[in-house]
Structure formats: structure tokens, C-alpha cells
Amino acid sequence: MVRSAVSVFFALFLVLAGLTATAQQDAHFTQYMFNTVYLTPAAAGASGVTEATAIHRSQWLGYESSFNDGNAPTSQLISFSAPIHRLKSGFATYILNDKLGPQNNLEVQAMYAYHLGIRENKLSLGIKLGMYSQTLDFNKYRLIQPNDPLLIDPNTGQIRTGKESQIRPDLGIGIMYRTEKYYAAIGFNHLLKSEFDFGVSQRNALANHMNFTAGYFYDVNFDLQINPTILVKTDFNEFSMDLGVLATLRNTMWGGLSFRSGEAANLLLGYSFLKDKSLRLGYSIDVVVKDRAAKENFSHEILLTYQLPVSVGVGKKIVRTPRYRH
């Protein structure tokens, strides 16, 4: 069983590594396995516990542009997920702030998932609805073409200055299958393909995105568990892939390595606090391995997760671990 699961992961790696990877599309987090509600709405409440998560990511630490264009990307994500046991379902929400130089993206999403029990396993179907906002800071753009229509105000004919924002609706769906030993999930984002035009004929539409993630849990012994994971993100034209392995000792501390196709090698570390392991602190650092001349060599993330106490008699008994609850 273990050998077959490992073989599948290496087969996926070899197939995808032969394709052409792309740069960042939607905001990306190295510690994605600790916050799957960002990847698919089907994960809403699927863990069986109520939890809140906060992540901060700083990309290309120390990067400074020769022009005041907003510097290196940063991302912040706050999420909340809770099961609704009586309705065999779950609710989740997240707020994402993604700063990309002169552009800032803000997402606010609400999710609902129905959990269908299949023997001892769980099949979840989810939907999310929210808003997506784009803000452009025209003070941070360089005018290369004197009559660039993207930077000229169509009403005044003058170069745009200051900030402008637009808000559009956003929709996504997903499916997730969980067992005690493994999980697999797919999420489809930006199904409405909402457009941001900022008063010009050229339209910047949100492309459909698909996220696929999976993981396997192998108990080496009573104290040690090994968890290989994979994440594939695509806009159906290009893709990015993460492949990694985490090791967790005594349900308290974990560490691992991962690789992002064509971009970075990553180190992940974490520790669970409090008697019931309900407070988790995680840290990851990415070492850039591609296009180093145009980037700084390191990116990093800080993650904080808190799981609320489980009420006695509500739902199944919960066994807390830093990665998976069942």
C-alpha cells in the first residue's frame, strides 16, 4: 500500500516535471496542506473541527526594484472553517490580500460544503461565492509608450495618477474525498471570468483555475508519521506543481521538504502548543532555484492555526494531529 502510494507520487512528479511550468497565478502558499479551504470549498468543515488560520507570505526577501513599482509580492490569508454536524455539512470563509507591485488583489469568500458519508470515509461537495477586488496604483507604473491607453485616462486624456479599484463577483466549486489514510481534492475557481476594464477597451478577465491536492498518511510507528503531499495548480494553459514530504513526531512537531516545479526548494517546520495540541505555529522558507538573477534567493511564510475545543457528544471523537483530524 505504501509502495503503491509512493509510486503514484513519483509518477506524477515525472510526468509534470516534463511539462512547462509557469510563474505565480493566484496567490501561492508553501504550507498549503494546512489550509485546504483556500484550494477547494469542499474542504469547508471537512476536518471535523472548528479552526482559524492566519498565513503571511513574503516573496523574494530583500528584493528592491530600481523603480518604485511596489517591491516584492506579499500575501496574507485569514480563514475560518467549522463543521455543521446536524446538517452533515460545513461552513468556511477566508479573506486574502495579495500585493503584486502596483496591483493589489483582495478576495472575500464564503463557502458551504455538504459531507456525504461513505462507510467510514467522507465525500464533500462544496461551493463558494464572494467578491474579488483589483486595485491599481498608477503612480507605480512606468510610461514607456507616450500614448499607452492603459495608463491614459479616457475622460481627461492625461496620464492616470492615484489608485483605482473595481469589485466583481466570484464563484467556485469543488469536491473532496477523505479517508483516515489519504485525501484527494479538486477546486475550480473564477468560474464567472469576471472582467476588470478600468475604463479602457482592453479587459483583464479572471481566468478559470483548477487546484488539485492530495496527501497520504503513513504511521511508521506510534510516535512517527510520514505525510507525502502534492499540489497542482493550472489555468488550463500553464501550471505549477508542489511535491513534498512531512514527518510528524509525537503529534507535536513536524518538518519536511518540498519542491515547486521550476522555481524553488522548500523547508517546512512546525510545532503544536497547549495540552490538546490546538495551537500550531508553522514556518517555511523557499530557496529560489530558477531565474535567480531577477529575484532574491529566499521567500518565507509564517502560519498560525488555532482549533477550538470540541464539545462533548457533538459528532465523532476527534483525534488532533498537526496535519489531519479523523
* Structural domains of the chain, ranges and CATH numbers in brackets: 2-307 (2.40.160.40)
Task: Write down the pLDDT at residue 9.
Answer: 45
Query: Which of the residue ranges 167-176, 229-238, 291-300 has the most confident prediction, judged by mean pLDDT?
Result: 167-176
Mean pLDDT calculated for residue range 177-185: 95
- Which of 271, 273, 270 is closest to 283 using CA atoms? 270
Mean pLDDT calculated for residue range 243-260: 95
| pTM to 2 decimal places | 0.83
Query: Would the pLDDT of 187 be above 60?
Result: yes
314 CB-near residues (< 8 Å, 6+ apart):
85
Query: Would the pLDDT of 270 be above 90?
Result: yes
Task: Write down the pLDDT at residue 66.
Answer: 56
Task: Write down the pLDDT at residue 232.
Answer: 95
Query: Would the pLDDT of 308 be above 50?
Result: yes
Mean pLDDT calculated for residue range 71-95: 94
Mean pLDDT calculated for residue range 87-96: 97
Mean pLDDT calculated for residue range 59-82: 78
User: Which one is predicted more confidently, 262 or 315?
Assistant: 262
Confidence of residue 198 (pLDDT cuts 50, 70, 90): confident
Task: Write down the pLDDT at residue 21.
Answer: 47
- Which of 176, 52, 169 is closest to 113 using CA atoms? 176
Query: Would the pLDDT of 293 be above 70?
Result: no
Query: Would the pLDDT of 326 be above 50?
Result: no
Task: Write down the pLDDT at residue 72.
Answer: 81
Task: Write down the pLDDT at residue 242.
Answer: 95
CB 198 within 8 A of CB 53: no
pLDDT, mean over the chain: 84
User: Which one is predicted more confidently, 33 or 72?
Assistant: 33
- Give pLDDT tens digits for 17-61: 444 444 446 899 999 999 999 999 999 999 999 999 999 999 877
Tell whether the torsion through CA atoms of 121, 46, 212 and 40 is positive or negative.
Answer: positive
- Give pLDDT tens digits for 124-152: 999 999 999 999 888 887 777 767 777 77
Query: Would the pLDDT of 271 be above 90?
Result: yes
Task: Write down the pLDDT at residue 322.
Answer: 47
